[in-house]
Amino acid sequence: MAEGKKARAVGFNHVALEVGDIEEALAFYGKLFDFELRGKSETMAFIDLGDQFLNFTKGRRQGADDERHFGLVVDDKEAARQTLEALGIEILPGPFLDFLDPWGNRVEIIGYGNIQFTKADHVLRGMGLAHLEKTESALDELAEKGMAPD
C-alpha cells in the first residue's frame, strides 16, 4: 500500500442490532415491516434489504440508545408511521420519525424518495420496487454531486 493512501468508505453492507431474543425480534419487526428472512440461527437472524441486510444478534445488555441510531429506508414513510401508531409504539419527540425497539435500539424511518440514497435499478426491480421515484429535491442533491440518474 502506498503511504498515505486510504480506503474510501462507499456504503453499508449491513447494520447489526443487538436484541434480547431472535424470535421476539423477528416478531416485532415483522409487525412493522414487510421483509424477507435471509437466514437465522439461535443467536442471529438476517433480514434481506435487497443488496444489504439487517442483522439481529442475541445479547443486548446496555441501556437504550439516546442519539445513536441508524436510518432505515422504507418505500412508504407514512405507512410506517401509521403502523407504529396502530401498534402503540411511541414515536420519539423531534423532527424525525424515530422509535425505540423493545431492546432500546433507536431506529429512524426515512422515505426512499426524499434522500440521496439510491438503490440500483436492477436491485429495485428484484425487490419488486421498480416504481419508487425520487423527489425533485433528492434529485437536485444527487445532481450537485454528479450522481443524478440518467
The DSSP secondary structure of 20-72, one letter per residue, reads S-HHHHHHHHHHH---EEEEE-SSEEEEE-SSSEEEEEE---S---SS--EEE
Instruction: Please tell me the predicted confidence (pLDDT) of residue 42.
Output: 94
Q: What is the pLDDT along the chain (150 residues), one digit of tens a residue?
A: 567 889 888 889 999 999 999 999 999 999 999 999 999 999 999 999 999 999 999 999 999 999 999 999 999 999 999 999 999 999 999 999 999 999 999 999 999 999 988 998 999 999 999 999 999 999 999 999 988 877
pTM of structure:
0.89
* CATH class assigned to 14-144: alpha beta
Cβ neighbours of 6 (radius 10 Å): 6
The pLDDT score that the predictor gives to residue 132 is 92
- Strand-by-strand arrangement of the 106-111 sheet: 70-74, 106-111, 97-100
- Those residues whose C-beta lies under 8 Å from the C-beta of residue 107, and which sit 6 or more positions away, are 69, 70, 72, 98, 99, 100, 101
Q: Which triple of cell numbers denotes residue 36?
A: 424477507
- pLDDT value at position 2? 61
